Amino acid sequence: MTEDAGQPRKSIGARRNPASADAIRDAAEAILCEAGYAGFSIEAVARRARAGKPTIYRWWPSKAALLLEVYHRQKGDVFDPDSGSLEEDVFLFLRSLFRLWRETPAGNTFKSILAEAQTDTAAAEAVKAYRADRLVHTSRIIERARARGEVRDDVDPLLAADLIASFAWSHLLVDALADDIDLFRKAARHLCGSWAPQ
């Protein structure tokens, strides 16, 4: 039996109903694309997905948690370069990340998440957890380079990853996402040069 278009979707408790969860994600992504962060709310998502607000909050404890899931969906697999050269890997990573943010809705979605984190404690905690996870991911580039002898033993891979992320996030926040190959090369050269053995 098919669900009537005007009827609310049925929740199955704490466990996510796949059809309802997909409808909520679809609604959240559509609202972000159509109305931007200013027009995004759990109420709007609930109306569009024909889901109850309590269901949404049970599955996503905060607005930021839902936004982060939409972001993950938009960005897909993160490019993890392994060219055999640290400077080339940092260049490729920055260029691919800027392209993702510039050419897909993911950049605006992530800016919305960061905006939410400025005034909401739950959002700030979600961003903090996401940041920690991404730094671990990016630090693998540094760890591989250290194993090849390109990075000094005293360089902290997580801190090095944080410097790469800081460069990227600051450009995202001011919408400076042009495909500036010279800038990416220069940033990679400056960063990697400071980590190289003397």
**pLDDT at 24 (0 to 100):** 96
Residues forming CATH 1.10.10.60 domain(s) in the chain: 18-60
C-alpha dihedral, 142 to 146 to 150 to 155, nearest 10°: 70
Q: Which class in CATH covers the domain with range 18-60?
A: mainly alpha
Token pair of 71 as six digits: 């972001």
**pLDDT at 5 (0 to 100):** 44
**pLDDT at 128 (0 to 100):** 94
**pLDDT at 1 (0 to 100):** 37
Residues forming CATH 1.10.357.10 domain(s) in the chain: 77-195
**pLDDT at 64 (0 to 100):** 86
77-195: in CATH 3.40.50.2300? no
Helix (H) or strand (E) holding 9, with range, is none
Backbone angles phi, psi at 185, to 5 degrees: -65, -45
The whole-model pTM stands at 0.82
**pLDDT at 146 (0 to 100):** 96
Token pair of 6 as six digits: 């005007």
pLDDT under 70: residue ranges of the chain:
1-16, 77-78
**pLDDT at 85 (0 to 100):** 97
